[in-house]
Amino acid sequence: MALEWEQVNVDAADTVALGRWWSEALGWVVVNDDPDEFEIRPDKDTLPGLIFAQVPESKTVKNRLHMDFRPDDQEAEVARLLALGARHVDIGQGDDVPWVTLADPEGNEFCVLSSRRR
């Protein structure tokens, strides 16, 4: 028996807006623009993807699961994500960590790790 990781589900108040934000942030393509299940992937035929599902309630506490991203240039990537609408958040990570914790426009936390080693 084998498992294939197909997607991560993200609850959203506005699936289209949040899905398009992540599509822009990651440089991924939209594979389903249905507002009930908006899905993006690295490209049309590559998994895993992110699917944004409509929920009535807003986010109220820290995520139990979040994504970490390792950029080529942490400072430039954080600046780019902030310009897209991300914001800095404090989830108790302290000041001495090598990553930057941000939140997407609906408050979902994610981390931008230190730059890749060349």
pLDDT computed for residue 102 by the predictor: 97
**Quick one: what percent of the chain has pLDDT higher than 90?**
81
pLDDT at 17: 97
Q: Give the Cα separation of 110 and 22 in Å (integer).
A: 11
Domains along the sequence of the chain with CATH? 1-56 (3.10.180.10), 66-118 (3.10.180.10)
- In which band, very low, low, confident or very high, does the pLDDT at 91 lie, cut at 50, 70 and 90? confident
Whole-number Cα distances in Å, 77 to 13, 22, 96, 111 = 26, 14, 19, 11
- In the chain, pLDDT over 70 holds for what percent of residues? 97
24-78 pLDDT, tens digit per residue, is: 999 999 999 999 999 999 999 999 999 999 999 988 888 889 999 999 999 999 9
Question: DSSP state, 116?
Answer: P
Q: Return the pLDDT at 118.
A: 57
112 band by pLDDT with thresholds 50, 70 and 90? very high
